[in-house]
Structure 1
């Protein structure tokens, strides 16, 4: 682990993402942004005229998509420049400009959906049948019809579009405080020397073999969040109120119903996830007992959850080694998939290193017409290796989709977003188990899987419970104070981890550092996506080419079909609890494997 955090200008170009492939420099971005402002009014000529003729309708939709595609490139460049150095005021302003352009476009195009829904369905069908080019929009029109009861008048849609920028304020404030302004203290590392805690280093410190290092990092981070608890409570409360405002404005019964309706996911999918995971919490309690036994501690604390329970295993992984491992692991998906992966490494899709001011964590981003970029904050460990495989799953999903679909369907819904990424992780786990001869390293990987499952299925479902709880509380007329948020979050940890875990009071403040609570009911899809990926990876490894073909077809579908239907064609039915149960069986089998290996 590097003790010094690099300044952005000190990072080698080869380790940075190729944003110049979008705009050659900031000046070009500014020029295109100005042109966009001037051209956005071109959509005005179609206002009130969509039912005049098939030609007018086609031209209007084409103009809207053309402007959206250009905005996607402008926004991608601006937000990624900002994310690479959140302390850079110029790029903060650039991102603000991009949000402003987004608001302008939404205001200008606010008439389109209400006009389409105001048409007599027979008139719309006749227009579509008149012009072959409009057939490409058939699925989009069908989606609109399903949203008919929740689309407002033109003036109301324009007002909501104007409000969007203000509604983003809570999320932006959280991001600025969490990524740019918040500074963690230094602690003594394993070598006894001072090391500054950062977002990128926090998990690595929690993985330390030295329990005092883990404890010090845990307490220092959450003491920092506690000192800002009222500010974080205000930003989270603002986000929840914004979610509810938008849902109520569109005549939904709840913010959760509004969020899931965007991708046509039944509420029962969310509910059966929580119910099925709750039924299987004894498996998590069993894992906690195993961890406590292996670590040989009288009390297992929350800061003991990330450290490997296999002692004295040196399993560091450099970035170059990680690249090769990921390439080998995805081999079962075929030569074409592997070649696309290699291209991503060669063409600078990845921003590799942590630097001062860089956004924490990891993600895959980009837009139609750009490379599917990846943000990392690389540390030489197995966790970062699996994260790299995960983010490349996202990016290759995007690459397949954008190269196979027109712009209108050139993205995928959030419900299927975690499937390809988690499937890559599953293949990497399988590759390790099949190729590792070292018993201790195999135990390490088995434990890594169990811990990853804990974090992805159990923990994200706990997040989903918390998110539903805080929204329901406000919807019932309650308020969200820092103390109440902390108490509710603490109690959920008690339920999930059971009596063999000491639930340290500091974990109650973890809600303050979770960015996904600002994503409007996103987190449950990590757990559903994991379950779908577990089933699909099993099919790929057992069936071979037929399952591979189904999966690659899924990657190419984009948003041209409903997500539930896409997954059914790929081989898994998420309208039932069965995939969640199958995932739980996999967790139990891996737990059995580890316990058996430990006894031999």
Structure 2
């Protein structure tokens, strides 16, 4: 039976180069010691940071320089853990850095208290005396929004001191999932035994063309999930309880209001995404499920079959081949943007090999003052190119934001964060369609575009709908047990899929699969980002360069504008339900295309 590699066995070129963050372990340890001394300098100036405009500006510069250093330390140990969470040294390093950062942030909790105490008129006078302070205006605006919910300084300091405890639910979840879970091997349609892991299921088997393998893998996957369901339920319940408690302490009406203020998003923007897509996308996706069942000649459409590709001719591709395709597709974004992507592809920003202990899915980590790092697992499917484009959408965004914005204005709201990533997927898909030499290849690309919408408008959107139900239950005093959480997710699935998919109880364990629930209201923002990307992609199709120029200016703006302001700058009205309905309608047109075209019978080439 094929065995998964250990981390040290993965070819170097398939791993990211963490030496770009710290060239040696000694350099990392030295930095860990130095940041304490730097924090002490800020603490020593505590009484004078708002005494005059120059003192305030210098304090802000010093404070955010330290925040950048802490971010790079945190990223370094986090990336090591993501590459191999089973490694004891990686676990120890992460714990050590978390402890140092918690201590420093506890001691520096006074900083924002003092800034919030500065009178707005006085701040305006300071900006006249020291114009450089205007660069921090967006940061001050966000502070003022939070000011009514700020607690007594000693209470804020206490909350900071408990940061490691508050982060424990996610730590326990990810450690259990990546380091402890063991799965039974599975057999494919040819009777071959294959290894099984969380990563292998999510990245390979769930979308396998082999129905026997796909269903056997799902059985093994859900069997192991079921063995951990009570532990994971307790961990998630602790996360929810923590969020509700903090919201109450700070005087918010609900945990939802608390989390949405962090995103600078109105409740109507949030509910429109959830309710319109959940209700109006369902008929299209039910039709797509039935198309799949018919063309794949399945006895029934199960939850394990939803990611199975109709197209049996989809090409396989290597990472090296995909680099060329991605650079050609993103040529329209201009030389500055393309240079970022080219550097990342050629200088080991991407970790794409597979090994025991590696994190599932994909992400882009972009600590300020360093280049981006992308994690994914390469399986050779054309879908991998779209994933690569997605993560480089984040990288391109963050590297431009970093170039043109201070750290205080660097990372925009979660509501906007997935727009640049999904935009790159749509640009790449458009390019692949233009280059396609056959109807078969065009159909293959259409199916992959549908997978983008499935991921963002179905997978993550249903998570968002489910998460809203969870918080409503918890705030009404209901206990979040494993059976309750599983039942809630099953209800969410049934409400969306109706009778188009044969669902059973184990499908409800899907709530255990994603880490997004430990990052506030993150899940639903994938649909928001793709809604924006769909509208802007249509502008690019129609206008060309002017729309691209607007988009690039938005990427450079970072968090200097609110998410609604960024989206308005793109000439998109995200507050108008018609914008969401247009994106849903586009998905319907893709399903129409899949229904009208016959299934492929031979393999296409990129």
Distance (Å, rounded) in 2 between the aligned partners of 1:480 and 1:101: 33
Q: 1:330 to 1:53 in 2, by over 3 A?
A: same
Aligned to 2:201: 202
Distance (Å, rounded) in 2 between the aligned partners of 1:599 and 1:557: 44
Deviation at residue 599 of structure 1 after TM alignment: 9.1
Aligned to 1:587: 587
Q: 1:314 to 1:539 in 2, by over 3 A?
A: closer
State whether residues 341 and 396 of structure 1, in contact with CA within 8 Å, keep that contact through their aligned partners in structure 2: yes
Which stretch of structure 1 is more off in the superposition, 265-274 or 188-197? 188-197
State whether residues 188 and 212 of structure 2, in contact with CA within 8 Å, keep that contact through their aligned partners in structure 1: no
Distance (Å, rounded) in 2 between the aligned partners of 1:585 and 1:332: 26
3-state DSSP of counterpart to 1:262: helix
After superposition, the C-alpha distances for 1:425-466 in whole angstroms (9 at most, x for unaligned) are 111211222222333333232222223312211232211111
**RMSD of equivalent CA atoms:** 1.7
Distance (Å, rounded) in 1 between the aligned partners of 2:412 and 2:144: 20
Aligned to 2:283: 282
Deviation at residue 533 of structure 1 after TM alignment: 0.5
Which stretch of structure 1 is more off in the superposition, 372-381 or 9-18? 9-18
Map 1:312-391 to 2 at 5 A: 312-391=312-391
After superposition, the C-alpha distances for 1:56-80 in whole angstroms (9 at most, x for unaligned) are 2223222211210111111111111
Aligned to 1:573: 573
Deviation at residue 116 of structure 1 after TM alignment: 2.2
Aligned to 1:304: 305
- Asked whether 1:39 is paired with 2:38, we answer yes
Aligned to 2:428: 428
Which stretch of structure 1 is more off in the superposition, 531-540 or 115-124? 115-124
Distance (Å, rounded) in 2 between the aligned partners of 1:413 and 1:339: 25
- Unaligned 5+ runs, structure 1: none
3-state DSSP of counterpart to 2:200: helix
Deviation at residue 586 of structure 1 after TM alignment: 0.8
Aligned to 1:171: 170
Aligned to 2:114: 115
Map 1:63-82 to 2 at 5 A: 63-82=62-81
State whether residues 535 and 579 of structure 2, in contact with CA within 8 Å, keep that contact through their aligned partners in structure 1: yes
State whether residues 2 and 194 of structure 2, in contact with CA within 8 Å, keep that contact through their aligned partners in structure 1: yes
After superposition, the C-alpha distances for 1:79-137 in whole angstroms (9 at most, x for unaligned) are 11121111111111111122122212321221122222223322232223222222221
After superposition, the C-alpha distances for 1:391-411 in whole angstroms (9 at most, x for unaligned) are 010011111111111222222
State whether residues 190 and 210 of structure 1, in contact with CA within 8 Å, keep that contact through their aligned partners in structure 2: yes
Aligned to 1:562: 562
Map 1:183-194 to 2 at 5 A: 183-194=182-193
3-state DSSP of counterpart to 2:417: coil
Map 1:2-151 to 2 at 5 A: 3-151=2-150
After superposition, the C-alpha distances for 1:38-73 in whole angstroms (9 at most, x for unaligned) are 321212123344442223222322221121011111
3-state DSSP of counterpart to 1:374: strand
- Asked whether 1:552 is paired with 2:552, we answer yes
Aligned to 2:394: 394
Distance (Å, rounded) in 1 between the aligned partners of 2:186 and 2:545: 51
State whether residues 233 and 481 of structure 1, in contact with CA within 8 Å, keep that contact through their aligned partners in structure 2: yes
After superposition, the C-alpha distances for 1:305-347 in whole angstroms (9 at most, x for unaligned) are 111113x315211111221221222232233322321111112
3-state DSSP of counterpart to 1:248: helix
Distance (Å, rounded) in 2 between the aligned partners of 1:413 and 1:188: 44
Deviation at residue 178 of structure 1 after TM alignment: 0.4
State whether residues 239 and 518 of structure 2, in contact with CA within 8 Å, keep that contact through their aligned partners in structure 1: yes
Distance (Å, rounded) in 1 between the aligned partners of 2:48 and 2:337: 45
After superposition, the C-alpha distances for 1:551-590 in whole angstroms (9 at most, x for unaligned) are 1101101111112101111221212222211111111111
Q: 1:48 to 1:578 in 2, by over 3 A?
A: farther
Map 1:147-546 to 2 at 5 A: 147-203=146-202, 204-280=204-280, 281-310=282-311, 312-546=312-546
3-state DSSP of counterpart to 1:415: helix
Distance (Å, rounded) in 2 between the aligned partners of 1:463 and 1:17: 30
Q: 1:458 to 1:376 in 2, by over 3 A?
A: closer
State whether residues 190 and 208 of structure 1, in contact with CA within 8 Å, keep that contact through their aligned partners in structure 2: no
Aligned residues: 598
Which stretch of structure 1 is more off in the superposition, 328-337 or 380-389? 328-337
State whether residues 113 and 151 of structure 1, in contact with CA within 8 Å, keep that contact through their aligned partners in structure 2: no
Normalising to structure 1: TM-score of the pair?
Answer: 0.96
State whether residues 189 and 211 of structure 2, in contact with CA within 8 Å, keep that contact through their aligned partners in structure 1: no
Distance (Å, rounded) in 2 between the aligned partners of 1:522 and 1:75: 20
After superposition, the C-alpha distances for 1:128-176 in whole angstroms (9 at most, x for unaligned) are 3222222221221122222221112211111111122101111100010
- Unaligned 5+ runs, structure 2: 601-606
